[in-house]
Amino acid sequence: MGTSKAKDMIRGKRVTVVGYMKSALDIATECAEVNGTAHPCTMVFRTKHWIVPDYSVWGINGKNFTLNRFSELLIHKPGEGLLSILATLLTPLRWAFYKLAESYYSIPMKKHGMVPDHSLFQALAAAIICVTPKDHYKRLEEGSIMLKKYKTFSLCKEGVLVDGEPSPVKSDVVIFGTGFKGDEKIKDMFTSEYFRNVAIGSESTTVPLYRECINPKIPQLAVIGYSDTHSNIYASDIRAKWLARFLDGSFRLPNVAAMQKDVLEWEKYMKRYCGRYFRRSSIMILNTWYNDQLCRDMGCNPWRKKGFFSELFEVYGPGDYANLLSNSKSKEH
């Protein structure tokens, strides 16, 4: 909410928040802090999601199994070559870890009937997972936040009418925390129907962006920020550096056919692991592998750690790319 004026607007009001991901959860938490159980905040949502308290699984730091190079060895990757054999052999290890994690995270979720239909691994792969605000489940227990699942809903004079409910959810304020459709924002940049369709592909394909930046069929256009990962700010920063290096002539792009082939390789990966959420173009579980490609394009060393075991097992994050261009060398594809 951000300001005292916003809090005053919802104070003493019956608030309904539509959605059940990061934005919706944060808004509902602030409403609950202001109004408590006297005026519970109702969250109306369509899909259950994996909402986790932190990244610790039975005392194990989950980041060590999701955000390092070793974790990516367990995944089939675009252009993996012989690493495909290793990914196949290590698949049971990946399955075991995520089943262990599901058993841990689902404990509080079961109490409220909120265990999703999709797996925790798919949620992570598609970047449809988030960390709960502090005391989220405590607020559910005390009743300052209430949950209602829907297939369809509509607004009415009294508030929100949820399908299957005999009476509406009485609301003075309705707040939508449902996010936005990124592909529509790309599409709306164009007036030409041809380019509008080419820009985002079809519903059966991913948005066709080479290196998650450049559409092979649309010249003079780069898109930064569409693809999801665990830290979109630093991902966009690296892509901006990649684009700047391309514009200053440090490297050349492959031909259109080669770029389209690469896009299809990433699409195959996303459909394999993200399931019905493949259009999100998430690279969350292959973030380092993806960054390696950008680094090689720019003539930078993709290996950012000191020592083999550090490189393999330590978590990769923004700090590893802080001085990315200091020792880069120009190259051509």
**pLDDT tens, the chain, 333 aa long:** 557 788 888 999 999 999 999 999 999 999 999 999 999 999 999 999 999 988 888 888 888 888 999 999 999 999 999 999 999 999 999 999 999 999 999 999 999 999 999 999 999 999 999 999 989 999 999 999 999 998 888 999 999 998 878 889 999 999 999 888 888 999 999 999 999 999 999 999 999 999 999 999 999 999 999 998 888 898 999 999 999 999 999 999 999 999 999 999 999 999 999 999 999 999 999 999 999 999 999 999 999 999 999 999 999 999 999 888 876 665 554
Cα distance between residue 308 and residue 102, in whole Å: 31
CA nearest neighbour of 97 among 48, 136, 64: 64
Q: Against a cut of 0.75, is the pTM above it?
A: yes
Number of H helices, E strands in the chain: 12, 11
Q: Show the CA angle centred on residue 121, arms to residues 266 and 301, nearest 5°.
A: 50
CA nearest neighbour of 321 among 291, 297, 283: 291
CA nearest neighbour of 55 among 43, 77, 71, 31: 71
pLDDT of residue 18: 96
pLDDT of residue 328: 62
Angle between helix 287-298 and 232-247 (nearest 10) = 20
pLDDT of residue 332: 52
Strand partners, 214: 210
User: Residue 49 in contact with residue 25, Cβ under 8 Å?
Assistant: no
Q: What are phi and psi of 328, to 5 degrees?
A: -80, 155
pLDDT of residue 147: 95
User: Residue 333 in contact with residue 251, Cβ under 8 Å?
Assistant: yes
130: part of which helix (H) or strand (E)?
strand 129-131
Q: Which two tokens stand for residue 170?
A: 């009485």
C-alpha dist (Å) from residue 133 to 28, 137, 140, 267, 274 = 10, 9, 12, 33, 25
